[in-house]
Structure 1
Amino acid sequence: MTALGFLYPGHSGEDDYPRMEQLLGSDIRLAVVHTDIGEDAHRVDALLEMGSDERLAAGVEELRLSGAEAVVWACTSGSFVYGWKGAHDQVRTLARRAGLPASSTSFAFAHAVREIGARRVAVGATYPDDVAALFASFLSDAGAEVVGVRGSGIVTAAEVATWGEDEVLALAREADRPDADAVLLPDTALHTASHLPLLEATLGKPVLTANQVTVWEALRLTDRRVNAPELGSLFTKEPIVQV
């Protein structure tokens, strides 16, 4: 049994996790602990507070008691908003507090882009444009070429969580670029676990979504590789190399 721990901000798209646990198999358990988000706003000052050490520390003990072997801060905007160096500092502090390997969704995207062999990516963000641009900057620091960014101007995670398949598919289509090797949808409030096969079939390329890459990152931290095609190209046995 491999137990994976996730610190998830508030309550919005967390039901993706039991869905993914079901698809991964009986020997993997996903433990989700909710953190207090403070103000629900995709605004820089609110996101910095959401990802503060104090808010993350409050859930660490519960995750340790769950038997988790690794922990991921399951929030994209609450990590990349700190910038490349600040996001590293955030993860190091989390690892120290938890006594476990740790990462965040932002780094999960960076690692997943490399895993599938993508060099150029397009971003379909639910965030306002200024916050979406910070994610693009983070990806550039990670070595990816961002060929397009599409923001949606949504301020709250609560609103994002109401989106269904049609809205998710429309966002991915609008974000896609002909020269993009993959499309990234970076919001853990967005329900995507049930839509990955459709997204990839429609776009004809890998699609990376926030909750998907978060779970993959936790598996990576524990040296597990799982073949689960229902969760997209990222969860196939071999990396997808773009030529």
Structure 2
Amino acid sequence: MGNGVGRAGVGFLYPGFSAEDDYPAIERMLGEVRLPVVHTTMREDAHRVDALLDIGGPDVLAEGARELRALGVEAAVWACTSGSFVFGWDGAAAQVAGVQEAAGVPASSTSFAFVNAARRLSLQRVAVAATYPADVAERFVAFLAHAGIEVVALSCRGIVTAAEVGTLGRAEVLDFVAANDHPAAEAVLVPDTALHTVSWLGELEDRVGKPVLTANQVSVWEGLRLAGRTPSHPGLGTLFTTKEGPQHGPIG
């Protein structure tokens, strides 16, 4: 449970429905914090720039953030990678500031979670296994470059809708990530909160022999970090077994 009376752990704003069950799965693994999810409006399910700008619009996020505020959460995360990095670095920062104001607690997004997780693990070169179309995935590469993280290999599966991404199963996810690793990469990043990965993080890391950072995993880690919590679990990958003190602000 939360640190304070009536607190409800770390809250997540999640667009539509696809792999939101990753959050209760992590909640069950950790067993010590609640991870409530508020579903935000998705007027069109499409990994297309114009649709993503609407999905991550300030009106949509403010409405969801106010719901999290009513739950008394300790931190809030906009759990949509493409719906944050598509705004660019400054736009994504402004987006987070809006969520923080509406929720009344420290806030972040999955895009910044990837950056902070990479910094926590001292990663400089990564491979990206993206389910998105190429034009969207390239914006994630640019976002990482702004933080000084080099993408040595980018693969794009070209899936347009989150609903379709959410149907990919264990074997497909394991094969996709393994096929798109690169010898020069220190880790593989998998940037789509619509993709189920949480139940297979240990297998993913065993398969590629290096850290794997996935969207729902880093989103939870980021929210816990902002709330000053440091739970660990071996089933949640290297990120959740790297010991450092709680940090409430940006890393690096």
With normalisation by structure 1, the TM-score equals: 0.96
77-86 or 91-100, which deviates more: 91-100
The residue identity in structure 2 corresponding to 1:200 is E
- Establish whether residue 93 from structure 1 lines up as the match of residue 91 from structure 2: no
Deviation at 1:61, TM superposition (A): 2.2
SS at structure 1 position matched to 2:131: coil
Deviation at 1:217, TM superposition (A): 0.2
Residues 226 and 237, structure 1, Cα contact 8 Å, conserved in 2: no
Residues 197 and 214, structure 2, Cα contact 8 Å, conserved in 1: yes
The residue identity in structure 1 corresponding to 2:212 is V
Q: Which residue of 1 aligns with 2:33?
A: 28
Q: 1:19 aligns with which of 17, 25, 29?
A: 25
Q: 1:58 aligns with which of 51, 54, 63?
A: 63
Counterparts of 2:71 and 2:243, CA distance in 1: 31
Deviation at 1:59, TM superposition (A): 1.3
Residues 105 and 210, structure 1, Cα contact 8 Å, conserved in 2: yes
Q: Which residue of 1 aligns with 2:250?
A: none
Q: Give a deviation string over 1:78-127, Cα, whole Å, max 9, x none.
A: 00000011100110111111111000000000000011121100000000
Deviation at 1:174, TM superposition (A): 2.1
The residue identity in structure 1 corresponding to 2:23 is Y
Q: Which residue of 1 aligns with 2:207?
A: 202
Unaligned regions of 5+ residues in structure 1, if any? none
Counterparts of 2:109 and 2:92, CA distance in 1: 8
The residue identity in structure 1 corresponding to 2:42 is I
Q: Which residue of 2 aligns with 1:118?
A: 123
Residues 212 and 231, structure 1, Cα contact 8 Å, conserved in 2: yes
- Establish whether residue 153 from structure 1 lines up as the match of residue 197 from structure 2: no
Counterparts of 2:176 and 2:91, CA distance in 1: 29
Residues 79 and 193, structure 2, Cα contact 8 Å, conserved in 1: yes
- Establish whether residue 84 from structure 1 lines up as the match of residue 89 from structure 2: yes
Q: 1:4 aligns with which of 10, 23, 35?
A: 10
C-alpha RMSD of the superposition: 0.9
Residues 127 and 188, structure 2, Cα contact 8 Å, conserved in 1: yes
Residues 62 and 98, structure 2, Cα contact 8 Å, conserved in 1: no
- Establish whether residue 132 from structure 1 lines up as the match of residue 107 from structure 2: no
- After superposition, residues 210-221 of structure 1 pair within 5 angstroms as 210-221=215-226
SS at structure 1 position matched to 2:80: coil
Unaligned regions of 5+ residues in structure 2, if any? 3-8, 245-252
Q: Which residue of 2 aligns with 1:142?
A: 147
- Establish whether residue 165 from structure 1 lines up as the match of residue 203 from structure 2: no
The residue identity in structure 2 corresponding to 1:19 is A
Counterparts of 2:97 and 2:38, CA distance in 1: 19
153-162 or 55-64, which deviates more: 55-64
Residues 124 and 185, structure 1, Cα contact 8 Å, conserved in 2: yes
SS at structure 2 position matched to 1:194: helix
Counterparts of 1:47 and 1:167, CA distance in 2: 25
Counterparts of 1:99 and 1:64, CA distance in 2: 6
- Establish whether residue 44 from structure 1 lines up as the match of residue 88 from structure 2: no
The residue identity in structure 2 corresponding to 1:214 is S
The residue identity in structure 1 corresponding to 2:218 is V
